[in-house]
Amino acid sequence: MRPSSSTSEPPSGGLFDGVLARGPVREAVADRAWLRAMLDVEAALARAEARAGLFPVEAAEAIARACRDDALDLAALGRDASASGNPVVPLVRAITAAVDDATAAGEVHRGATSQDILDTAAMLVARRALGSLLEDLDAASDAAAALADAHRGTLIAGRTLLQHAVPTTFGLKAAGWMAGLDQAAIRLDQVRRTRLAVQLGGAAGTLASLGDRGPAVVRHLAEDLGLTEPVQPWHTDRTRVAELAGALGGTAGASAKPAQDVVLLSQTEVAEVWEGVAGRGGSSTLPHKRNPIAAVSALACARQAPGLVATLLSAMVQEHERAAGAWHAEWRPLTDLLRTVGSAAAWLRDCLEHLEVDPVRMRANLERSGGLVLAERVAAALAPALGRLAAHDIVERASARSAIESRPFAQVLADAPEVRANLTAEDLAALFDPAGYLGSADVFVDRALRAHEARRGTAAG
Amino acid sequence: MRPSSSTSEPPSGGLFDGVLARGPVREAVADRAWLRAMLDVEAALARAEARAGLFPVEAAEAIARACRDDALDLAALGRDASASGNPVVPLVRAITAAVDDATAAGEVHRGATSQDILDTAAMLVARRALGSLLEDLDAASDAAAALADAHRGTLIAGRTLLQHAVPTTFGLKAAGWMAGLDQAAIRLDQVRRTRLAVQLGGAAGTLASLGDRGPAVVRHLAEDLGLTEPVQPWHTDRTRVAELAGALGGTAGASAKPAQDVVLLSQTEVAEVWEGVAGRGGSSTLPHKRNPIAAVSALACARQAPGLVATLLSAMVQEHERAAGAWHAEWRPLTDLLRTVGSAAAWLRDCLEHLEVDPVRMRANLERSGGLVLAERVAAALAPALGRLAAHDIVERASARSAIESRPFAQVLADAPEVRANLTAEDLAALFDPAGYLGSADVFVDRALRAHEARRGTAAG
Amino acid sequence: MRPSSSTSEPPSGGLFDGVLARGPVREAVADRAWLRAMLDVEAALARAEARAGLFPVEAAEAIARACRDDALDLAALGRDASASGNPVVPLVRAITAAVDDATAAGEVHRGATSQDILDTAAMLVARRALGSLLEDLDAASDAAAALADAHRGTLIAGRTLLQHAVPTTFGLKAAGWMAGLDQAAIRLDQVRRTRLAVQLGGAAGTLASLGDRGPAVVRHLAEDLGLTEPVQPWHTDRTRVAELAGALGGTAGASAKPAQDVVLLSQTEVAEVWEGVAGRGGSSTLPHKRNPIAAVSALACARQAPGLVATLLSAMVQEHERAAGAWHAEWRPLTDLLRTVGSAAAWLRDCLEHLEVDPVRMRANLERSGGLVLAERVAAALAPALGRLAAHDIVERASARSAIESRPFAQVLADAPEVRANLTAEDLAALFDPAGYLGSADVFVDRALRAHEARRGTAAG
Amino acid sequence: MRPSSSTSEPPSGGLFDGVLARGPVREAVADRAWLRAMLDVEAALARAEARAGLFPVEAAEAIARACRDDALDLAALGRDASASGNPVVPLVRAITAAVDDATAAGEVHRGATSQDILDTAAMLVARRALGSLLEDLDAASDAAAALADAHRGTLIAGRTLLQHAVPTTFGLKAAGWMAGLDQAAIRLDQVRRTRLAVQLGGAAGTLASLGDRGPAVVRHLAEDLGLTEPVQPWHTDRTRVAELAGALGGTAGASAKPAQDVVLLSQTEVAEVWEGVAGRGGSSTLPHKRNPIAAVSALACARQAPGLVATLLSAMVQEHERAAGAWHAEWRPLTDLLRTVGSAAAWLRDCLEHLEVDPVRMRANLERSGGLVLAERVAAALAPALGRLAAHDIVERASARSAIESRPFAQVLADAPEVRANLTAEDLAALFDPAGYLGSADVFVDRALRAHEARRGTAAG
């Protein structure tokens, strides 16, 4: 369910939104969407209270009608918020004025405090935004899964500390991306399903002005809005917000990891992948450039998350029954966190769905180090005959000589007497075939894909 | 299971540890405990590889014997780490030298990369630390539960933005503390049970040097250490670390919230609670001071968490198969985060277990505002006769006059003609009885306690 | 100098802006202001290049005319930014299309890279925003100075760990606020005057396409825009941004400190100050509440700064000649940081300029602890006769007894034989006069005010 | 001036210190150094008070003697700190017990509060640590300067978004590193010289127990310790700490930037530089690896700074005269921040002082893109004849064809009829010479080196 405003007024968007607010989350957390959510809460509250017998259903309907009207002047509400410290006070005034029934007007916002409305609206905004975000995240993960499956046999240099280490497959690399994205999605979905709860406590969490109907109203409200019913009001128990923030922070990191790899694999000297979106990534001054815009933008968005998570965690120290500042300090970081992580997911999806892979170049790069990536294997093959230490030394010397003489490591090694004494040319050829030194890469890809499919309810193509 | 070193050598402790590293987590994350965990991993790895048939069980036993010896020079390992970028390289050298069997010596650390050992050790350290941390957290939550139960009828001013708002009970306040602590514990425990996994991938995640035995070794290793078996190596998928960090960050906030309330309730002007630990909280220069040391220290510890969480989230962007810096950037923040949150939980437990409560002072403070905390109630009582708006205005005027004339609000209001016309003296007396305006406070306390007991498997006293 | 757009189109403002984006900085960092700054840079660049002889002045004038036109569709630029990764590419296209002279059109954006324009625009935006921010900060500091001067003799309890400690004056407290604000302003102004520099380097910092005219163009550009001329391009040297961020972070903290004190002093039980703005701080449901909205909002804004500073510092790791993501990650945090700190300063100014102080209540609160705040003094007076330790013990025992017996400390102490033996009733009366135990409070206020006046170029009223 | 303890007891060091606590700062911020600083402050305080006439010089000398003894049990002090909330209370007790003169014993810590001692000690610790840190930072900057000077003619690909853009020189790249380091050092030094001040205010900032001697004692204390004399006590004005934190955060970023570049330039596929330290960077399992350990470790250290800065900025909100938690929350982050930034600087110095550069490989990489890095230049050369747009199109088409046909861009372009019509073969050869397209690279290097030399007071070699 998207905010209804999305159809009536196309959002204008900001100067940096094309880069920093990609995808549907931008709109789902826009001020208009917040306002829509607040109106939804006030309307649902009236219905819940009528259902609990506090006033006639007709009054609730009148209130809901007034809340359906979103011709409200958002900027004016924002401005008037400065007198009371939040936008709910002017909103309630505006709704009350719009109710066409005097009795009903008196029941608007009955028993609620501003924070009840804003917190519940925040939960609605989060639920709607997470829906969109998870769609993009799942699509990114599916794209990674497809790459993992298609490239389970594509050799690539395994790189540690950005140095060639041993061979691996591009499939296993993509499976690693997928696993991170899947786990982020699992956690986000968990938070979405179990931790987004209605807030309703009145001024200090007792719901005193609702007499004994408080719990019933909370239950009806939760049912109406499709949010969790809390055990008790949670005005200054911010563990819900913290879990949401933590899950979003983890998603940012999980999205940035593949983006960083794509940027590195796209380097001019590496050139193993590129983003295949026509007409994007060009430069006004450099006619030849093809920048990995999607990966770069995903990184740019994801990098803004940790600081926002820290702000939200810091804001958990909320005084007594309702806080003096820390609560207000949540509104924007939560909005910004949802937006920037949503944008990261949208960019990453774009990146992975359009990723072009060059297996020939991957193989060529792998071989450029002249067999060095198989040094570990050759040392292991020599160990039984020479002892582990001696074997390691021979290989290390050959590696050094290879660098000094600018000759391929495999050749230098083949010339070493201890090697010739123990390994035939065929042995060596086999040892230097990277395809034979992939260990459990394929098993891991299989297991990872099965886990992905189990989560996504799909069978591999 | 505590690190064995704890019995043999009493940890000395640092200058600030009495305040900033309280409780058992300090020792569980000390360098000695990290070293113990690394040795445990190397020993278990040897056993797992022997079980997978890579070498005889006797070799594994010889290796495990060498790992049992923790007469290792920790500082020397730390120093030598600078040559390779981590302490595992010198550690492997030291273990190998200590193995009393030449064949076995060649099998030390077989197929593993340094990160395998350190990451798995980190998971062990985390599991052990979380055990202690959860004990303190649960004890703090139990103490809050006991307060909630004992004080369900203790009236106190509900305070919003640090101003008196409406009455509530100290029991409901304590139930709110308990709920936050319980949720933090639930999440931490979830992470502990499901997200702490073995790491084993070799140089680039393929376990190539173990041939086809890689997955079996991983499975045996996980069983041996009591950690989760991962679907695949996770060298640069740091979602596990992120979830751990997020859960710890949430725990910090949940621990700081009651601590902040205790500090505020302990103020000289409020004086509703104090920490009842003899001989603590004094001042060298001010003989009369009794500072809420436990609450202050809990706050001090908890406040250090959000920045550390941000560091760990930022470090998720790890390049290719193993990262160039971001992984190394995790070690200390993870250790510090466990320690500081463990310390916050230990201090909060201490604070809540010794909290002295003064219900008489709570009631006196509540009444000091001369009935103003019941203004909402009186307005509601007048509304049917006068209309909501008029009722609100009368109450507001009385409130203002009460401030100007320095007369109790209840008296000023009683003098207003509209009030006298509609409410008898008994009506007013009843309206101004805060015990009658607690709404669902008691219901919420009950529900919260039932949820707590269900989690803790206990019945209320 | 305000962005010209401010007159032509009244900014609409967001839902939370009344609370979280108070004061002039909001507008100075709005998207429209960024766009205006980019246009200013492109126009100034053309003028600088013409002045350096790269093309006729008439061409520069034609370009500047095209840049004066801000009928540009900001949202469309933002949208089109997604193809190139920043909004400068579509902006240059739009300017070029608007130039009414074919030759001149070919010279738009000559030799510059997108980052040159955006970075220089960021510096302009920062300079304009800092101008407004410093005005509010200075006004807040002046208000604190006025309070310090007016209340140099107003006694108040000195509170440590929120407990009464010894007497102090409200003047000294306000002088402390002032000192923090002044220092923040000094540092911000330093950054504004010396660290906001032109960026111009072309694709990779060599300005190759300008031949040998690069340095001249940079110099002219700096003069034209009133920014510092850098020694060399600084595309990936982000120390400027870091210093700006650090100064803003410090300003946030310096603004939050007095706001926190006002919130605490406004507590119902303390009630020593309140915000005297009519019609603000009311509650829809609680007719009697007068919340310190300005202080609370200042805190809410300031609390969002540290996380943003961390994001900007993390983004300093920028690759090679121009970064892949970290640079893009600066735009929004920098904007948000300026806005939130600007808002904190504006709220604090409002708070301090309207702060009402109740010296009678301050004195009453000070005396409520029955002389305990002078315990240190009495102990010192007894020390010569009894020895320091014995004196401390007597005072401590009296303090404990005072609590148990609920009698004023001064009375309990007066009854102690050792006290009676050494101090007369007059001695005791003098010792228990808080006005006589203020040490150097007045000297410090004087020194602080002189320093403030020296900075502000004013003499105290 | 190093802490004297460094000679008497060799610091043991932790398990991760070889990587994460390199260089002299580790020791300068160790617990032992903190203790030494606290003793220095207590001794200097006694001397200052004697000088101000509060007690005989002999008493001060007796106290100073007791403070010279650092046989204090640090761990016991730390443990006992938990009773009072800081280690100063047990320290004062220990000093008092060690004073061999009863009168003098009564004057220990006269008039000071615990925070006075700890804050002043923190300033001493910071000053000593910054001295070491600046040495390493300056050495790193000098090394960068030497590289800039030596390689002003060494061609290298200018890389934007990690793609080849236009040619530049390695000298200009190194000059950019140097500029960032220099600016960080300038700011750190500024803070060190002007913002590290004595703290002395007594319980609540009035120095009441010193009568009218307070200001004189502060002045003498500042002179004795070589710290700045503050205008007034600054217990809860934390702008000093914030500026220190900000400067350290900026230094971390400035140190990480070159480290990141070195890691990228060291990649197997790029291989333009390597760290030339024998016996370092090897791998236990991969005999051929030569990891850029120093750069990786510098990054690991620097990445931990932003979160710590955020913690310190968050802790600026300190209540009333002395804070309840936020102050205590500074001790460890400040220590850790100094250590991790000191370590980053030490590693970077090591990295840059041993950096081996391969100009041949730089040139080869530059040429590998077949002239594409000069596309901008060729387009500009064609523009006068063909018009800017047409020229850009031709170059873009040639670039695309070059990729499709796998032919060097220069060749493809030379075949285009419009090119042949307008440029001779010599023209083209000249255009494709990267050495001719360096713009102001050399000028910028010169200016940067002159600025560096001016700061460092040296002439280039």
C395 Cα to chain B: minimum distance (Å): 7
Average pLDDT over residues B335-356: 98
- Chain D contact for C313 (CB, 8 A cutoff): yes
Q: pTM for the complete prediction? A: 0.96
C-alpha B417/C-alpha B51 separation (Å) is 91
- Band the pLDDT of B458: cuts 50, 70, 90: low
Q: Is the pLDDT of residue D288 over 70?
A: no
Tokens of A76: 């004016």
Active site members of B: 283, 322
> Is C267 an 8 Å CB contact of chain B?
yes
% of chain C exceeding 90 in pLDDT: 80
pLDDT digits (tens, 9 = 90+) for D218-229: 999 999 999 999
Closest CB to B78 among D14, D263, D303: D14
Residues 168-207 of D with CB under 8 A from C: 168, 172-173, 175-176, 179-180, 183-184, 187, 202-207
Kindly indicate the confidence band of residue C358, based on its pLDDT and cuts at 50, 70 and 90. very high
> What's the confidence (pLDDT) of residue C116?
98
Contact assessment for residue D130 and residue D88, using Cβ atoms and an 8 Å cutoff? no
| pLDDT of res. B5 | 35
Q: What ipTM goes with this model?
A: 0.95
Q: What is the tens place of the pLDDT at every residue in D268-283? A: 999 999 998 877 766 5
pLDDT digits (tens, 9 = 90+) for A381-407: 998 888 877 888 898 888 888 878 888
Put simply, whether B53 touches A (Cβ < 8 Å) is no
Contact A162 D268 (CB under 8 A): yes
Contacts 24+ apart (CB under 8 A), A50-54: A51/A216, A51/A220, A52/A210, A52/A213, A52/A216, A52/A217, A52/A220, A53/A213, A54/A107, A54/A110, A54/A210, A54/A213, A54/A217
- Separation CA D222–CA B197 (nearest Å): 54
What pLDDT does residue D11 have?
Answer: 52
- The three-class DSSP label of residue B155 is strand
Mean pLDDT of B259-267: 98
The more confident residue out of B13 and C394 is: C394
Mention every residue, 6+ apart, whose C-beta is less than 8 A from residue A441. A152, A168, A169, A171, A172, B205, B206, B208
Of B163, B286, B369, the CB nearest to C291: B163
Which region among A40-54, B70-84, D101-115 has the lowest average model confidence (pLDDT)?
B70-84
State how far the alpha carbon of D128 is from the alpha carbons of A279, B209, D259, in Å: 56, 49, 25
SS3 state at D355? strand
Query: H-helix or E-strand containing C312?
Result: helix C305-314
Categorize the per-residue pLDDT at A290 as very low, low, confident or very high, splitting at 50, 70 and 90: confident
Please state, in angstroms and rounded to a whole number, the distance separating the CA atoms of residues B150 and B273: 14
How do residues C189-224 score in pLDDT, each as one tens digit?
999 999 999 999 999 999 999 999 999 999 999 999
Whole-number Å distance between alpha carbons of A218 and A111: 11
Q: What is the mean pLDDT of chain B?
A: 92
Closest-CA distance of chain A to residue B102, Å: 10
Are residues A356 and A266 in contact, defined by beta-carbon separation less than 8 angstroms?
no
Q: Which candidate in B92, B173, B236, B321 is best for mutational testing of the A interface (most A CBs within 10 A)? A: B321
- In chain C, which among 153-172 make CB contacts under 8 A with chain A? none
| Interface contact flag, B203 A165, Cβ < 8 Å | yes
D364 phi/psi in degrees, rounded to 5? -60, -45
Among residues 285-304 of chain B, which lie with CB inside 8 Å of chain A?
299, 302-303
Q: What is the DSSP string of A46-77?
A: HHHHHHTTSS-HHHHHHHHHHHH-----HHHH
For residue range A179-204, what is the model confidence (pLDDT) as tens digits?
Answer: 999 999 999 999 999 999 999 999 99
The nearest CA of chain A is from the CA of D138 a distance in Å of 27
**β-bridge mates for residue A163, sequence order:** A160
Measure B362 CA to nearest chain C CA, in Å: 11
C-contacting residues in A 402-431 (Cβ below 8 Å) = none
Question: Across the interface, do B283 and D315 touch by the CB < 8 Å criterion?
Answer: no
B369 in contact with C at a CB cutoff of 8 Å?
A: yes
Residues 6+ apart with CB under 8 A from D365: A268, A269, D156, D157, D270, D272
Alpha carbon distance D249, D258 (integer Å): 15
Q: How confident is the model at residue D68 (pLDDT cuts 50, 70, 90)?
A: confident
pLDDT above 70: residue A432: yes
pLDDT digits (tens, 9 = 90+) for B53-82: 999 999 999 999 999 866 788 989 999 999
Contact (Cβ atoms closer than 8 angstroms) between residue C373 and residue C366: yes
DSSP H helices in A2-56: 5-8, 17-20, 25-28, 31-51
Mean pLDDT for all residues in chain D:
92
Q: Does D439 touch chain A (CB under 8 A)?
A: no
| pLDDT tier for residue B461 given thresholds of 50, 70 and 90 | very low
CA distance C365 to D337: 41
Q: Which of D175, D250, D299 sits opposite C246 (nearest CB)?
A: D250
**β-bridge pairing C155-160 and B163-169:** unpaired
What would the mean pLDDT of D115-123 be, rounded to a whole number?
98
- Please state the φ and ψ torsions of residue A241, each to the nearest 5 degrees: -65, -40
Cβ distance of C19 and A81 shorter than 8 Å? yes
The pLDDT confidence band at residue C10, using thresholds 50, 70 and 90, is very low
pLDDT at B3: 37
Question: Which residue on chain D is closest to C159 by alpha carbon?
Answer: D321
For chain D, say whether B106 makes contact (Cβ under 8 Å): no
Give the sign of the dihedral formed by CA A111, CA A115, CA A118, CA A119: negative
- Residue B192 carries which side chain, given as an amino acid letter? R
- C228, β-bridge pairs: C197
Provide φ and ψ at C440, rounded to 5°: -100, 20
Tell me what the mean pLDDT of segment D62-72 comes to: 86
Average pLDDT over residues B125-137: 98
Assess D329–C contact: CB distance below 8 Å, yes or no. no
**Are the Cβ atoms of C311 and A304 closer than 8 angstroms?**
yes
Helix (H, G, I), strand (E, B) or coil at C18: helix
Q: Rounded to whole angstroms, what are the CA distances from C147 to B205, B405, C57, C172, C176?
A: 66, 26, 56, 9, 11
Give A102's pLDDT tier (boundaries 50, 70, 90). Answer: confident
pLDDT value of position C399: 86
Active site residue D193: no
Residue C272 has pLDDT above 50, yes or no: yes
Confidence of residue D284 (pLDDT cuts 50, 70, 90): low
pLDDT band at A451; cut points 50, 70, 90 = very high
**Residue in this structure with the two tokens 């006070």, named with its chain if needed:** A89
Question: Mean pLDDT, to the nearest integer, of A418-437?
Answer: 93
Is residue C184's pLDDT more than 60?
yes
pLDDT at C287 over 80: no
Q: What pLDDT does C400 receive? A: 83
Question: What pLDDT band is residue A370 in, cutting at 50, 70 and 90?
Answer: confident
Residues of D in contact with C204 (CB under 8 A): 158-160, 165-168
Mean pLDDT for the stretch of residues C338-343: 98
- What is the mean pLDDT of the segment spanning D254-267? 98
Q: Which residues of C63-87 are buried (b: 16+ CB within 10 A; e: fewer)?
A: bbebbeeeebebbebbbbbbbbbbb
User: Mean pLDDT across the stretch D58-79?
Assistant: 90
Judged by CB atoms closer than 8 Å, whether chains meet at D331 and B20 is answered as yes
Q: CB-based contact (8 Å) between B382 and chain C?
A: no
Give the pLDDT of residue B69. Answer: 65
Do B268 and C392 lie within an 8 Å CB cutoff? Answer: no
pLDDT band at C284; cut points 50, 70, 90: low
pLDDT at A70 over 80: no
pLDDT over 70, % of chain B: 94
The DSSP bridge partners found for residue D157 are: D167
CB distance B27 to B33 below 8 Å: yes
The 10s digit of each residue's pLDDT in C289-331 is: 679 999 999 999 999 999 999 999 999 999 999 999 999 999 9
What average pLDDT score do residues B368-391 get? 87
Residues of B in contact with C307 (CB under 8 A): 306, 310
> Is residue B12 over pLDDT 80?
no
Residues 6+ apart with CB under 8 A from C403: none
Q: Which of C16, C109, C299 sits opposite A284 (nearest CB)?
A: C109
